[in-house]
């Protein structure tokens, strides 16, 4: 059996699986499929024609648009935890997460409170989107990707498997980040009080691309259409339209004209 609070509103044609719980004030639209042992917390809102997998937790107040699919064992709208010695996480209750229409969220993904996903965003299996993160429409967040708190991710970006985006980073539209890329925001590596004055993530301008296994040091800016080659370590800003390669990365040559974003015919 399942438990649906008497104050919850369930749309016509919606089916709720065995052992699922729908708490007070929650709303589920029409023609939804709610899996077994799912939990829809108080005042959450789920649009029409959504698919919610087994053992999914939709936290209190979370807003889910129509035609959204969330696979098994995912958590959406989770409030952050704070370790006693955390440098960037504060004790406070964040506003509910917002997942826009036609998003796909894979198995075991975690979407924190205070985050906003645009339309048709894919968050793949085991990925994490931390609090106060925005992800633009049509962006792909690949398997095992971690986007830390206070980040802005543009539209039509692609973050491939096991990418790590450090806190306080900005990625503009149509950024490509290859598998295993790492970014950082703390030049002091956790030592001295001075570090608290200098936390700064990375900035990747429109159309910037990072190769497999590249490493970007704190505060670096990758210019529009710039490329950081596979395995490179970027210690200085990357000039727009230039390829950076090596350890440490240095200007290598211009990006081929046919690869420039304005020559793709996408916009």
User: How many structural domains are present in the chain?
Assistant: 1
Specify the DSSP element, H or E, that contains 244.
strand 242-245
Instruction: Please name which of 206, 184, 186, 204 lies closest in space to residue 194, comparing C-alpha atoms.
Output: 186
In contact, 86 and 100? CB cutoff 8 Å: no
User: Residue 23 forms beta bridges with which residues?
Assistant: none
Collapse the DSSP code of 44 into the 3-class scheme (helix H, G, I; strand E, B; otherwise coil) and give the result. coil
The span from the CA of 37 to the CA of 169, in Å, is 36
- 134 in a structural domain: no
- 251 in a structural domain: yes
The pLDDT tens digits for 173-217 are 999 999 999 999 987 777 777 777 767 999 999 999 999 999 999
* Domain ranges, residue 159: 148-190+197-256
| Structure confidence at residue 195 (pLDDT) | 74
- 54 in a structural domain: no
- 51 in a structural domain: no
| Structure confidence at residue 187 (pLDDT) | 76
In contact, 78 and 59? CB cutoff 8 Å: yes
| Structure confidence at residue 85 (pLDDT) | 65
Predicted structure pTM score: 0.94
Other C-beta atoms closer than 10 Å to the C-beta of 253 total: 10
The span from the CA of 95 to the CA of 114, in Å, is 5
Rg (C-alpha) for the chain, rounded Å, is 20
- 74 in a structural domain: no
Q: What CATH number is given to the structural domain containing 245?
A: 2.160.10.10
- 114 in a structural domain: no
| Structure confidence at residue 231 (pLDDT) | 98
Instruction: Please name which of 115, 124, 122, 125 lies closest in space to residue 59, comparing C-alpha atoms.
Output: 115
| Structure confidence at residue 88 (pLDDT) | 56
Helices (H), the chain: none
- Cβ-based neighbours of 67, under 8 Å, separated by 6 or more: 47, 48, 49, 50, 101, 102
Q: For residues 151-168, b (16+ Cβ closer than 10 Å) or e, as one string?
A: bbbbbbbbbbebbbbbbb
- 262 in a structural domain: no
> Which residues, given as ranges, of the chain have pLDDT below 70?
84-91, 198, 267
| Structure confidence at residue 84 (pLDDT) | 65
The span from the CA of 148 to the CA of 168, in Å, is 8
| Structure confidence at residue 196 (pLDDT) | 73
Report strand pairing: 242-245 vs 221-222.
unpaired
| Structure confidence at residue 18 (pLDDT) | 97
Instruction: Please name which of 98, 167, 163, 188 lies closest in space to residue 136, comparing C-alpha atoms.
Output: 98
Specify the DSSP element, H or E, that contains 12.
none
């Amino acid at each position: 059996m399942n438990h649906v609070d008497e104050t919850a509103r369930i749309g016509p044609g919606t089916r709720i699986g065995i052992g699922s719980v729908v708490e007070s004030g929650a709303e589920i639209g029409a023609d939804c499929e709610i899996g077994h042992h799912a939990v829809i917390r108080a005042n959450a809102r789920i649009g029409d024609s959504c698919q919610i997998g087994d053992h999914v937790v939709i936290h209190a107040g979370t807003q889910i648009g129509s035609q959204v699919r969330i696979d098994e064992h995912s958590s959406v709208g989770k409030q952050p935890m704070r370790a006693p010695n955390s440098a960037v996480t504060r004790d406070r209750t964040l506003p509910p997460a917002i997942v826009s229409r036609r998003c796909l969220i894979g198995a075991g993904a975690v979407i924190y409170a205070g985050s906003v996903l645009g339309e048709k965003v894919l968050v793949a299996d085991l990925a994490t989107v931390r609090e106060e993160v925005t992800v633009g429409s049509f962006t792909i967040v690949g398997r095992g990707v971690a986007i830390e708190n206070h980040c802005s991710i543009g539209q039509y970006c692609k973050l491939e498997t096991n990418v790590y985006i450090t806190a306080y980073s900005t990625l503009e539209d149509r950024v490509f980040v290859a598998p295993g890329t790492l970014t950082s925001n703390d030049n002091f590596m956790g030592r001295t009080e001075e570090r608290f004055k200098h936390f700064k993530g990375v900035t990747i301008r429109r159309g910037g691309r990072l190769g497999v296994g590249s490493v970007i040091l704190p505060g670096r800016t990758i210019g529009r259409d710039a490329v950081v080659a596979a395995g490179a370590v970027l210690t200085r800003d990357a000039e727009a339209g230039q390829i950076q390669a090596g350890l440490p990365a240095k200007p290598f040559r211009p990006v081929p004209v046919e690869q420039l974003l304005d020559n793709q015919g996408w916009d």
